[in-house]
Amino acid sequence: MKHTLTAATALAAAGLLALSGCTADGGESSDTIRVAYQKFGTFTQLDDHMKQVKAAFEAEHEGLTVELVPIEAQQNDYFTKLALMNQSASTAPDVMYEDTFMVESDADAGYLAPLDEYTESWDDWDAFYDNAKSAGLGGDGKTYGIPMGTDTRALWYNTAVFEQAGVPVPWEPKTWQDVLDTAAKVKAELPDVVPLNVYSGKAQGEAAAMQGFEMLLYGTGDTLYDTEEKKWVTGSQGFEDSLTFIQDLYQGGLGPTPEQALDKNVGNLVSSEWFPQGKLAIGLDGSWLSGTWLETGTAPWPEWSEVMAQAPMPTQNGDEPGATSMSGGWTLAMGSKSTNKDAAWDFIALALDKDNSQAYDIAASQIAVRSDVSEDPDYQAANPTFGFFSEIVSVTNFRPATSDYGQISSEITIAMEAVMTGQQSPAEAAAAYDEAVVRIVGEENTTSSK
């Protein structure tokens, strides 16, 4: 039975294959598998999950050892360190935590092993939604990553702060201007509160490019990449308008100071201090945010569900469909240099079976990508925000799945930082971005929207 990701959404993957003493290609196998993943700041749910799976795996597979390699780094630094590990067989992981937008480029680089021979005989694979499966595909159409979960993004707001500022709740902004006007009212009434946080600048990496900028861009009706022509878009008015929003926010004093915004730890401050302590009114952030505040989170906040509320991010001028979101997600992938691919697969399958997927999704506030998880009453009851963030899947967008996206994403953050710090106007930063795109992909691989 095939599934499609709907408002119910679900998570990961599993089912153990018989473990042999040889690799999938017949080579000599290792009795240790190395598992690399990100451990950063207050978000430790993945580390807890990996420790639990390691214990279960070793209990079931006598003679095999799992070496956990938590990489304590912000996202961009994590990608860099993981790439360095993959360059040598002596350090390359057998299993790695892989962002969906990196799957194609890492597969092209030869870091990942295709998983189709395993998924073909894995009963659990039928439980995964089809568009979740597509997130783990390489450019050759092969599966290189098994999805752990997905996410959406929206506006979180502190109702207690809103009430102090005289802003009615529930809050239902219809345009960008509505968002900025509300931020301005908070600033006027509560000068010690940060009115609105939108991640921006090079230090924030993909959090800025995707979670900040692309949440704006796709609300203008424009796009980064023309999927029909398979070309990158230059000369986009929506791109310039999105930078203008960033300028209005930061140069208008409606956001964090540039110094705060460029702190690599600002995401941790938002979740563990600014929102719980009433220092931030609105944040453009992800569906996972509340995971920090759960009893099992790193900054428990028992009252969070009574204080925090959510609103969809509106399109620029309220045009259809009226709201927008961005979705991403992470996978577990197998290293191409693994000397025991069967054991590596067994670890992936165990980590993402129904029970482990559900436990991780609840702990990390993930939108499930398995139908049996999303339909489970315990999953649905675990977090009052799951319904809201699942519903906006209908208006979500995805990053271009191309091997050059990483370079393009970096240029977006450069443009954002130039505008937020006042070094360039939106028009100047957009023009510099266009030049960079042409330099990266070649003019023949671009198309102008002008």
Burial 376-404 (b: 16+ CB within 10 A, else e): beebbebbebbebbbbbbebbbbbbbbbb
Residue 201 vs residues 74, 120, 293: alpha-carbon distances, Å: 14, 42, 26
- Omega within 30 of 0 (cis) for the link into 321: yes
> What pLDDT is stored for residue 27 in this prediction?
46
CATH code, 32-151+328-398: 3.40.190.10
Q: Where are the domains of the chain?
A: 32-151+328-398, 153-326
Residue 293 vs residues 29, 379, 383: alpha-carbon distances, Å: 42, 17, 11
Specify which residues 96 forms β-bridges with.
36, 333
What CA–CA distance (Å, rounded) separates 331 from 222? 28
H/E stretch holding 280: strand 280-286
The long-range contacts involving 114-119, CB below 8 angstroms and separated by at least 24 positions, are: 114/138, 114/142, 114/143, 114/144, 115/142, 115/143, 115/144, 115/145, 115/146, 115/333, 115/334, 115/345, 115/348, 116/142, 116/143, 117/24, 118/17, 118/345, 118/349, 119/143, 119/146
Contacts of 2 by beta carbon, 8 Å cutoff, 6+ apart? 126, 130
What CA–CA distance (Å, rounded) separates 342 from 27? 11
> What pLDDT is stored for residue 431 in this prediction?
98
Residue with tokens 């309220």: 318
CA angle 33, 35, 40 (to 5 degrees): 160
Q: What's domain 153-326's superfamily in CATH? A: Periplasmic binding protein-like II (3.40.190.10)
What CA–CA distance (Å, rounded) separates 39 from 2? 34
pTM value is 0.82
Q: Which residues does the chain have with pLDDT short of 70?
A: 1-29, 42
What CA–CA distance (Å, rounded) separates 181 from 188? 11
Give tens-digit pLDDT for 102-130.
Answer: 999 999 999 999 999 999 999 999 999 98
> What pLDDT is stored for residue 345 in this prediction?
98
> What pLDDT is stored for residue 42 in this prediction?
62
The answer to whether the Cα torsion of 78, 84, 89, 91 is positive or negative is negative
Contacts of 71 by beta carbon, 8 Å cutoff, 6+ apart? 36, 37, 38, 39, 78, 81, 82
